[in-house]
A = this chain, B = another copy of it.
């Protein structure tokens, strides 16, 4: 390792120790966790409904547009869906409307247990979550859990670029569930 590299490492370690007032690697790593969300752009509002085709017709009629085609979330083998910490066969039939400033998502729960099904059974139809797009999901999961908003469900999608989503139990803190979306 050359002298300049050693110097850089020494400065970085010094800054880290100075910043958090600690010397343990574990605590220093925690400084990579953001303190807030870093985005204030709502990318998606998602509504859980009993019948996604019926709701899609209602929205299409409201906007005077064609009814978009529905799709199905990937199966467990592809999506690696976990709900409350355990793998689940829970899936959803989805319809998306690309509105001017955000995506409107309609969700009909199908298959096994999921946060979508839980919402429908507990609340009936309504807005399930609002979503923000991030890069580096795990550091935001850590941030939200530290703020008292635990992870409830996560999964992946393989269409387009692929990506992952995470839902949080944030109703007590914010009045609504949050979703973080990350496109790979």
* Chain A residues at the B interface, C-beta cutoff of 8 Å: 35-37, 39-42, 45, 47-49, 55, 58-59, 61-65, 97, 99-102, 104, 106, 123-127, 130, 147, 170-171, 173-176, 178
Say which residue of B42, B100, B175, B178 sits within 8 Å of A106 (CB atoms).
B175
A127 partner residues in chain B, CB cutoff 8 A: 45, 126-127, 130, 175-176
Q: Which residue of B lies closest to A97 (CB)?
A: B40
Do A125 and B175 touch (CB < 8 A)? yes
Do B101 and A42 touch (CB < 8 A)? yes
CA A150 to CA B36, docked complex, whole Å: 40
Say which residue of B36, B63, B102, B126 sits within 8 Å of A101 (CB atoms).
B102
Do A174 and B47 touch (CB < 8 A)? yes
A39 partner residues in chain B, CB cutoff 8 A: 100
Q: Which residue of B lies closest to A106 (CB)?
A: B175
Among A36, A39, A40, find the residue whose CB has the most chain B CB atoms closer than 10 A: A40
CA A80 to CA B127, docked complex, whole Å: 29
Do A63 and B47 touch (CB < 8 A)? no
CA A73 to CA B65, docked complex, whole Å: 35
| Residue contacts A-B, CB under 8 angstroms, 27 given | A36-B62, A37-B62, A37-B63, A37-B64, A39-B100, A42-B99, A42-B101, A45-B45, A45-B127, A45-B130, A47-B176, A48-B175, A49-B175, A55-B175, A58-B170, A58-B174, A61-B147, A62-B173, A62-B174, A62-B178, A102-B102, A123-B123, A123-B124, A125-B171, A125-B176, A126-B175, A126-B176
A126 partner residues in chain B, CB cutoff 8 A: 123, 126-127, 171, 175-176
